[in-house]
Structure 1
Amino acid sequence: MKQTTLDAIRDHAIRVYPRECCGLVVIVLGRERYIECRNTASGTDSFILPADEYAAAEESGAITAIVHSHPDASGEPSEADRVACEASGLPWHIAEVRCNDSGERVVTRMTMIEPSGYAAPLVGRSFAHGVLDCYTLVRDWYRIERGVTLPNFQRTGNWWNAGEDLYVENYARAGFRALREGEEIAPGDVILMQVRAPVVNHAAVYLGDGLMLHHLYGRLSSRDVYGGYWLEHTRVVLRFEP
């Protein structure tokens, strides 16, 4: 990248610290520009780049890279960064921002990753809402094990506490139906659960032999026994029948 672009990224990352910055590198009329975007994520350790701002940048020129910062954290890409980079099909630049001993905010490092075919493992992946979460795990299992591409629905942070019933409203559109009375659960069925929320907010894939694969908020994805707490909080079991 040109020095002016790097300077603009550093300025943005320092200015919005301790929140993550996000933006786009765009070629406009043959010149490289850094376009600042709003970070609409609720926390300080993630970013959501608004779709309308991405679309506006596309209209102005050719997007060549996605940029964000890691405040008070390593500039190395997280697992979620690597997954999202693959999905975007673009290089990602990460600015490491820290406060030095004098209290001055500085960008201590810039790193770059490119799409390389990376895929997060089904078990042991970290949690990042909208990128690596329980529905992402369901989608990835179906793609890997069944060769099926499920739709990816838009979901904002804490949608379940806002009363958005996303799983119930969308499962039929994704090709699922609820098990009928008397039908036994089978491998590949999707278990919808209601966990400390006013609506269904958690999904798991039934693997057979009493085991399920799921990704609980804030934890690593795992295989667990389907019973006890999880069975008690099950609201519906789905079968894929497109």
Structure 2
Amino acid sequence: MQELLEYADSSQDEVCALIIEDTRLYPCRNVHPDPAHHFRISDADWLAAEEEGEVTAVFHSHPQPVPVLSGADRAMQVMTGLPWWLACNGELRKFRPVPHLLGRRFEHGVADCYTLFRDAYHLCGIDLPDFKRTEGWWLRGENLYLKNLSATGFHQIPPSEARAGDVIIRQPFPGADPCHAMILLDDNMVLHHDHAGHLSRREPYRMAYMKQTHSIWRHELCSSLDLRGISADISARSH
């Protein structure tokens, strides 16, 4: 980690490198025409790195205080399918190669509302654990959301205090457990993925959703939640 941070501090432009087998830094020249704000690794450097071993991650720095992946970064990360490591503000963050947040097809336990919630928080700087969920858990009194939120650093807040980044838990079926999560965004929008047949999407927090709202939750590290991670990904997906 120290080697990566020192490399990042070696230039006022974005520096870039490839990580070999998760243990070795292979520095690359930034050939982007605007290196102060973007980076590009040449094909020659990538091929040369592959001759040294398996490329397992892409590394670059942000000289500006933006510790999340940009839209351009996310577009390229999804294309490479690799973890991307980012040095910014003297810290190193490692981002999993999650799919774009919008337009996902629903598959319970694999690509569902918790997957979207967890991936969105990851892109914004907070890592949450995954948990096993089987079909119909919301009808068996398992209360997976309420139990896991409390166990992973969330606390319930009054609806009147809700702000962007908070998690809304809905009870969409009468008699069922609260079983659907949405992330509240700016301008009273929500990001969510509700059930099979619907793609993950961003839409207004409309009255029907408000009536189904069971509770609203905030993470103890909410000050570390950088919602630019979500907006950058949405921008990349929209282009």
Please report the TM-score for the alignment, with normalisation by the length of structure 2: 0.50
More helix by share: 2
User: Greater Rg, structure 1 or structure 2?
Assistant: 1
More strand by share: 1
Please report the TM-score for the alignment, with normalisation by the length of structure 1: 0.49
